[in-house]
Amino acid sequence: MPIDRKQNRIAVDISVMVTTVLEANEATIVNLTEYGAQLAGMSLPVGTRFQIDFEEQTVFAIVAWSEIDRVGARFLFSLTDGPLYSQLAQARMTDAVTSAHGDGGWVPPRPTLGSARHIPTGFGRRRA
């Protein structure tokens, strides 16, 4: 069954600190939107409230789904600014370039045989 999401997930690789009432662990955000994230390297029960700390920013979240080594987090307040939002914006730009131009990024178009032009030499219209 397809899941209706507000935003497309953007692949990222961000190391964060996850803190619950009982413990604090390191985890990695593997995909991110303004409304939530998927965290790998940890597991929490569904419904657990926790905070994600990244570069002086704290984001509050709740576990929407959980598996053995990863969880889906829904943010209590959507991302609108801060370091995590900056990482998301940068990843979106990178994703857009990759989607438009392939994995190698932008590559100038190769000239075709018909596009070869004579480059004049000399000054103005005069030819040497």
Whether residue 61 contacts residue 74, with contact meaning beta carbons closer than 8 Å, is answered with yes
> 9: which 2 tokens?
């997930």
Q: Tell me what pLDDT residue 8 has.
A: 78
> What distance in Å separates the CA atoms of residue 125 and residue 117, rounded to the nearest whole number?
15
pLDDT given for residue 1 in this prediction = 44
How far is the CA of 57 from the CAs of 52, 53, 74, in angstroms?
A: 8, 6, 16
> Average pLDDT for consecutive 10-residue bins of the chain (128 residues)?
62 94 94 94 95 96 95 95 92 71 56 55 57
pLDDT at 126: 57
Tell me the C-alpha distance between 25 and 108, whole Å.
45
DSSP count for the chain of H helices, then E strands: 1, 6
pLDDT at 92: 87
- 95/51 Cα distance (integer angstroms): 27
